[in-house]
């Protein structure tokens, strides 16, 4: 991939992952998402140059998956790093002061983080219920039957009068897309 093509690809992927908030929603904030995106794009570039990328049908999706895996690995490594003891005798005082700012054991800070997470979950739940209420009756019935009550597509097709299970699957997919679009617009 030459530099001009890569720049175009980079801009498309940046729009797909960052501007459209796909990676931001997964990671949690814009700054971390951009950092993970930069790492993912460099990893993609190395794999592309080595000819290691075999599935080229959806490169933006592949890049998003690479970014998500990097984020998961980063989270996993942070948890593992916290388990190891550090020889603080070798670390100078300025680092200790900075580290103290970011590793607060203050119960109030922990409580604020917990409250913020609970508020985010509540906001998502409200957005989901509002978006679900805005769906038409057919979509509500389809989504409830397929995902809440776990009824097979064939049974739903018979009960709701559709031609086949394939029609039910297609309509359910469309209804999920409508629901997700509405939820994203509310958030």
Question: Are residue 121 and residue 175 in the same domain, yes or no?
Answer: yes
Q: What is the mean pLDDT of residues 109-123?
A: 77
Lowest mean pLDDT among 54-63, 74-83, 113-122: 74-83
Domain membership of residue 124 (yes or no) is yes
- The answer to whether residue 98 is domain-embedded is no
- pLDDT given at position 104: 55
CB 61 within 8 A of CB 40: no
The reply to whether 184 falls in a domain is yes
**10 & 75 share domain:** yes
> What's the CA gap between 148 and 172, in Å, rounded?
12
Phi then psi for residue 52, to 5 deg, are -90, -5
Same domain assignment for residues 115 and 42: no
pLDDT tens sequence across 23-72: 777 777 777 778 887 888 888 778 777 777 777 777 777 777 888 888 88
What pLDDT, on the 0 to 100 scale, is given for residue 120? 82
Residue 117 included in any domain = yes
d(CA 80, CA 99): 17
Indicate if 18 and 77 belong to the same structural domain.
Answer: yes
Which residues, at least 6 apart from 12, have a Cβ–Cβ distance to it below 8 Å?
Answer: 60
- Choosing from 53, 84, 115, the residue where a domain stops is 84
- 161 or 108, higher pLDDT: 161
Q: Which of 84, 117, 143 is the last residue of a domain?
A: 84
SS3 content of the chain, % helix, strand, coil (to 5): 80, 0, 20
Report pLDDT for 66. 83
Report the pLDDT averaged over residues 129-143: 92
46 assigned to some structural domain: yes
The 10s digit of each residue's pLDDT in 150-176 is 899 999 999 999 999 999 999 999 999
The whole-angstrom separation of Cα 94 and Cα 82 is 20
Q: Is the pLDDT of residue 116 over 90?
A: no
Over range 179-185, report the average pLDDT: 88
Same domain, 78 and 1: yes
What range does the domain containing 181 cover? 106-187
- Whether pLDDT at 126 is above 80: yes
Same domain, 2 and 54: yes
Alpha-carbon separation of residue 131 from 50, 135, 179, 187 (angstroms): 45, 7, 6, 10
Residues 61 and 125 in one domain: no
Q: With respect to residue 31, please indicate whether it lies within any of the assigned structural domains.
A: yes
Query: pLDDT band at 98, cuts 50/70/90?
Result: low
One domain, residues 123 and 78: no
Domains held by the chain: number: 2
The pTM is what?
A: 0.42
My answer on whether 126 and 181 are in the same domain is yes
């Amino acid at each position: 991939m030459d530099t001009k093509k890569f720049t175009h690809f980079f801009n498309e992927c940046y729009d797909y992952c960052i501007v459209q908030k796909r990676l931001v929603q997964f990671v949690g904030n814009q700054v971390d998402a951009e950092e993970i995106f930069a790492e993912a794009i460099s990893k993609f570039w190395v794999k592309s140059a080595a000819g290691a990328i075999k599935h080229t049908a959806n490169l933006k999706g592949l890049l998003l998956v690479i970014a998500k895996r990097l984020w998961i690995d980063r989270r996993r490594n942070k948890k593992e790093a916290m388990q190891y003891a550090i020889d603080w005798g070798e670390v100078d005082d300025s680092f200790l002061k900075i580290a103290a700012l970011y590793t607060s054991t203050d119960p109030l800070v922990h409580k604020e983080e917990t409250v913020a997470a609970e508020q985010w979950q509540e906001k998502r739940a409200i957005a989901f219920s509002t978006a679900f209420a805005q769906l038409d009756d057919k979509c509500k019935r389809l989504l409830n039957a397929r995902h809440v009550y776990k009824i097979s597509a064939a049974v739903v097709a018979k009960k709701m009068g559709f031609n086949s299970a394939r029609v039910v699957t297609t309509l359910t997919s469309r209804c999920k897309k409508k629901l997700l679009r509405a939820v994203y617009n509310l958030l």
